[in-house]
Structure 1
Amino acid sequence: MYFQKGIAARHPVGGLTRIPAFSVKVVDTIGRGDSCCAGFIAALHQGFDPQKACRFGTALSALVATGLGSDAGVKNFDETEKLMKTLTVLEA
């Protein structure tokens, strides 16, 4: 499930995972939910555990929000993974 303030996912191993959203200057929200799901699936396919995959999906969603259109701010998988490590978490 995707929320404005993060993501929550239930999975058989590890139960419920909640990842807060990243703090970015939001320009456009179109495509954020789809990009979050796509990032999650791509990260699982790359061998990430469910929690890290949720974090990756959330990072991809944050990048999309930084520009106009559904793929704004997105470069590739590796760049998204690097940015995932540098983005700040949104305060509750």
Structure 2
Amino acid sequence: MAPVHWLSAGVLALNVVIGVALVLGVFMFMERRIQLGAFGGLFAGAAVIYVEATIGEQLLRVSVGEMKILVLAAAFGAVLGVVGTVLTVKPEL
């Protein structure tokens, strides 16, 4: 179970970076057109989730309990990235 803790930290860090990139990208597109940013953000978020799940399924052979930890770390990292970016950038929509 020890490798999963390091992997969870890596997933958390990766999702913070992805969350920041997605928020900044969505803000950039929303400055041009609100619909472009909204649908682009939904599409990009779904694509990230699909890619991470597919890679995780191919690389890892973890138990259900370990997968729950990884999912929680991924979700927390994404939320931390989004909230941190919004609080830092403070957009005016």
- TM normalised by structure 1 equals 0.31
Q: Which has more radius of gyration?
A: 2
- When normalised by structure 2's length, the TM-score is 0.31
Q: Which has the higher strand share?
A: 1
Which one scores higher on RCO, CA 8 angstroms, separation ≥ 6? Answer: 2
Q: Which has the higher helix share?
A: 2
